[in-house]
Amino acid sequence: MTAAELSLRETSRLLGVPEEAVRRWARKGSLPSRVDGEDFLFLRSEVEAWARRLGMKLRDPRTPSEDSGTRKSADLGEALRRGGLLRDIEGESLREVYANMVAKMDLPGSLSPETLLDRLLQREELATTGIGNGIAIPHPRHPLQGLLPAARVTVVQLAHPIDFKAVDGLPVDLLLVCLSTSLKEHLGLLKECAHLLQKPGASRTLHEATSIDEVLALL
């Protein structure tokens, strides 16, 4: 590994996305990389150029302050209680699904469904939030500071799978919609969601849950 190269973790921090998403992009060949042992290495210049083409905001991957303590910065259980569970959301396209979804969310008066829909679609235009295995983690490009009193994660079960342009090419039928009020909180929620999805049986529970309490039991 040279000084100009980044590890998988550093690239994840630089792009502000989960490590699994970076690994999938590397495997697919959409993000330039090279294999080093059992994982990938990335040239920072190539990652930055790739991100600029997609309009993604970059951060310093070697700044520890944003990563340290992120598990304490976001309580996934409380965020899930606030966000709740939405079942059988209809839609034949990503836009239709998002529109139907935000219309059913219990949003504060400071955040209109139209504003949230616009923010989610703007983020999706940069790169897919479909992380694979039929799951996506939609979120606005920037935290909703001033528009949202506290972070929330909404579990959304779709009535029919739709094409999300996911990294593995599979259609998506489950969303974990992450809404945060700060970058640190956002990174913490993404990390907690990744941990949740790694639990045995988590995917099946999330797909089949009929109440948010069933999801909270995974924690």
Query: Which residues are marked as active site?
Result: 139
- Find the largest Cα–Cα distance for the chain: 51
State residue 138 phi and psi, 5-degree precision. -65, 145
At 3, list the tokens. Answer: 């000084």
DSSP, res 58? P
Strand runs labelled E in the chain? 5-6, 34-36, 39-43, 85-89, 130-132, 135-136, 152-162, 172-179
Measured distance between the N- and C-terminal CA atoms of the chain, rounded to whole angstroms: 37
Half-sphere exposure of 113 (CA within 13 A, CB side): 11
Cα–Cα dist 216/93, whole Å: 29
State residue 75 phi and psi, 5-degree precision. -95, 105
At 112, list the tokens. Answer: 């209109």
